[in-house]
Amino acid sequence: MKKVQILGTGCPKCKALYENAKKAVEESSIEAEVEKVDDIKEIVKFNVLSIPGIVIDGEVKSTGKVLSPEEISNILRS
């Protein structure tokens, strides 16, 4: 099972990315757990310069933008 983490402090873009990630997992039938990471100390550990960010299995895949569910699905499949 893949682990998808959404890095963000609760801003509208962070919430949108979280919702898109959940939708991508549901629609793609990929087994994945989606979680929010809103603790700034935890976010800093990923060395990201802008939020929202998406981390899949410990690897930062995108920062600073809201990916569509389709874009997230493509990342999950790769």
Task: Kindly list the catalytic residues.
Answer: 11, 14
E strand or H helix at 55, and its extent? strand 53-56
| Helix-helix angle 12-28:69-77, to 10 degrees | 60
- Residues in Cβ contact with 44 at an 8 Å cutoff, skipping those fewer than 6 apart: none
